[in-house]
Copies of this chain bind each other. A is one copy, B any other.
């Protein structure tokens, strides 16, 4: 049986690491900073992928696939982008291994097989894609291009954590090309909105939509839209970003089009992405000291049925009822596991489904059979109740819908509690250290102030929120005029 988890209050970070492993979601690989996504974790990621993919297609996007490798000369073409990622690039320099003359049976890199030009393993694909778009775009008739790709990317991070920051991760990256600045801006905002809808309604994680300050922008972007979520330890997590890239990549790769007026213009661009990092956000938003808590939309198993018996006769009788229930629930679209393993005790099974965050658990014992009832337990509230057997098929969808909603409500309530308006820097520091969460404060808009606050507190500007009232005030640090409150937090 899994060991008892460290609790969140004991050590939040340890709790997270243990939970990811004990819930069978992922583990560290033999390759530094990389992870193995285990079947149970991958099944959750697949649900995210399916829903996002549907949303991308519904907004007119198509999938495509571009190469894993970016030749160095293309990688460096857009200088800001290159500068932003150069420090964390895995680089392929050779294309062959050969027998090691010094160590029989071992291999070494073949010095004869050095590439003329090194290849960067994509940390993001703007460069390779815009080099391709160059050949696809001649006229306004070729625009817009609305593509997405599901891919792996590599960023050689020094300090890694499962799902949150890994050297290799899985993501989708949208790359679009437009005639006008306005159209590209609208696309970037639309996709940020798509992300917000997805994360709130599907993952039950409330997010703030905003724009990044200049220093937190994507390297090569003119504007970065983002969705920011708040984890249970009071730290923020950037859950998705959507970039308005201006004409930066079009200029770097010389991508011009004949416009409707007969002139030549550079193409306008966006890119947007979410990654397996969302798994980290999902885990940290909803889970508790007993393990994973999953919104039903994401649950690979909605309901587990555990039989409780002493005799074979009882086991057979319960199995009959359980199988019938399973069929009925599956017929209306739920995923049900009837756990009839004989070599594990009910307590062990209860614990397993608890740590794995299975939303509902039904236990059936001999007395339940006699009384035509079952015990049903909710993972989120840990409530149990006994219900009539013939109400289960109507009760289950109701409970699942309720859980999906209540998890969101609970997360909203947490965020509301942990968002504090602050107007002076002493309070800023106290709130940040003693309470945590989002601090809503005025900022004078300068990079210097942003830097000074970060240096003093480790808090960064998570975003300039898009929605809500924008009232002027005085910067919490410098006292200079400010146009609106922005959100500060320590962040993942």
Binding site for B on A (CB under 8 A): 29-31, 34-39, 42-43, 45-46, 62-72, 74-76, 79, 82, 86-99, 105-107, 109, 118-121, 128, 131-132, 141, 147, 151-152, 154, 156, 168, 170, 343
Residues from chain B with a CB closer than 8 A to the CB of A79 are: 105
Contact (Cβ within 8 A) B128 A31: yes
Of the candidates B45, B87, B95, B156, the one whose C-beta lies within 8 Å of that of A156 is B95
Query: Separation in Å of the A27 CB from the closest CB of chain B?
Result: 8
CB-nearest residue of chain B relative to A107? B76
Contact (Cβ within 8 A) A39 B92: no
Contact (Cβ within 8 A) A69 B31: yes
Residues from chain B with a CB closer than 8 A to the CB of A71 are: 30-31
10 new A-B contacts, CB < 8 A, other than A31-B71, A34-B67, A45-B65, are A30-B74, A36-B64, A39-B64, A68-B154, A68-B168, A86-B99, A87-B97, A88-B95, A89-B95, A97-B120
Q: Which of A67, A120, A170 has the largest count of B CB atoms less than 10 A from its CB?
A: A67
Of the candidates B36, B128, B132, the one whose C-beta lies within 8 Å of that of A132 is B36
Bound CA span A31–B90, Å: 16
Bound CA span A290–B95, Å: 39
Of the candidates B38, B66, B94, B343, the one whose C-beta lies within 8 Å of that of A64 is B38
- Chain A contact residues: over half helix, strand or loop, or mixed? mixed
Contact (Cβ within 8 A) B93 A109: yes
Bound CA span A486–B37, Å: 42
| 13 pairs, A vs B, C-beta closer than 8 Å | A29-B67, A36-B65, A36-B67, A39-B62, A42-B62, A68-B154, A86-B98, A89-B96, A89-B97, A90-B94, A92-B93, A93-B94, A109-B118
Residues from chain B with a CB closer than 8 A to the CB of A105 are: 76, 79
Query: Separation in Å of the A174 CB from the closest CB of chain B?
Result: 13
How many copies of this chain are found per oligomer?
A: 2
Listed from nearest, the 9 A-B pairs whose CB atoms lie closest are A39-B62, A34-B67, A37-B65, A86-B97, A95-B156, A91-B94, A31-B67, A93-B93, A29-B67
Bound CA span A45–B63, Å: 10
Query: Separation in Å of the A66 CB from the closest CB of chain B?
Result: 5
Contact (Cβ within 8 A) B29 A42: no
Residues from chain B with a CB closer than 8 A to the CB of A152 are: 68, 151-152
Contact (Cβ within 8 A) A96 B156: yes
Q: Tell whether A147 pairs with B39 under 8 Å between CB atoms, given A30-B71, A96-B156.
A: yes
Contact (Cβ within 8 A) A36 B66: yes
Query: Separation in Å of the A13 CB from the closest CB of chain B?
Result: 23
Query: Separation in Å of the A200 CB from the closest CB of chain B?
Result: 26
Of the candidates B36, B72, B95, the one whose C-beta lies within 8 Å of that of A90 is B95
